Each structure stands twice: as structure tokens, then as C-alpha cells.
Amino acid sequence: MPEMDDFNTQIIKEFRANAGKVGGGFDGATLLLLHHHGAKTGKERVSPLAYLPVGDGYAIFASKAGAPSHPHWYLNLKAHPDAEIEVGADTVKVAAREVKGKERTEIWERQKAQMPGFADYEEKTKGIREIPVILLEPR
């Protein structure tokens, strides 16, 4: 995982240096930085994630690029749903909740239309797991 840590560190630096804008493969994408606490350790972590605006909240997707397991940040939010995000130059305290049923379907379909790579992730996880959709709501 050190390679992924280095990759994320570079994205975080670029995000903060450019008020939330990141280039390369993420050019034009809506990104936020999720501050979450380890489920077991309680240690603060920061994860750059794509998001979709939903009302006054932010939907994030536990796709892990189509891996068979959930990302650590998802498990951390399940254990500690109070979190903080950086969006652009702003910092917002949020409460995380997993959306289900029709609400999940509507948000998920919008995300796939906006960022078609998520449909690829869904195909990779078919029969293994459903990609969780988490709504971060300002608190």
C-alpha cells in the first residue's frame, strides 16, 4: 500500500495547493478530502475521493476501483460516522450515512452517468459485493 499512500499524498498536496482542483486523470472531476478515523486505531486519516453533490450533501462511493473488498475509509465511517471534509477551499463537518434502496439507485445511476468508470467498477464487483453509497450531510 505504500505506492497508494504516495499517490494519495500527491493528490492531497495538489488539491490543497489549487483550492480543490486536481489535474491528470482527475482533471475536471469533483473531488473532496475525507478526514476519517481508523475503526480500530482511532487515528485520523485523509482520503481523496470523487463525490456527487446531492442536495446540500456529498455522495461518495466505496468502489475501491472495483476491488472485491471495501475500502478502509468505508469501514472507518461505519465505525465513526462523524467526519470532516475539505471541498474546494472549505472545510465542512459531516455525518455519514449509507443510503439504500431507491435513494441509492438514483444517486448511483447519476454517478455512473457523470463518471462512466464507476460502471466498470460495478461490473468488476458483480456477484461479489454491491458498491456502498455514502451520503455526507453537513452537521
Query: Residues 97, 134: contact at Cβ < 8 Å?
Result: yes
pLDDT of residue 28: 84
Give the residue carrying C-alpha cell 468502489.
63
**C-alpha cell of residue 109:** 445511476
Q: Which helix (H) or strand (E) holds 117?
A: helix 117-125
Domains of the chain with bracketed CATH? 2-138 (2.30.110.10)
Of 95, 11, 17, 88, whose CA–CA distance to 46 is shortest?
Answer: 11
Cβ-proximal residues to 103 (8 Å cutoff; 6+ apart), any chain: none
Q: Report the half-sphere exposure of 122 (CA within 13 A, side-chain side).
A: 14
- Encode the chain (139 residues) as per-residue pLDDT tens digits: 556 678 899 999 999 999 999 998 888 889 999 999 999 999 999 999 999 999 999 999 999 999 999 999 999 999 999 999 999 999 999 999 999 999 999 999 999 999 999 999 999 999 999 999 999 999 9
Strand, coil or helix: 2: helix
State the pLDDT at residue 6: 83
| Bridge partner residues of 61 (DSSP) | 133
What's the pTM?
0.93
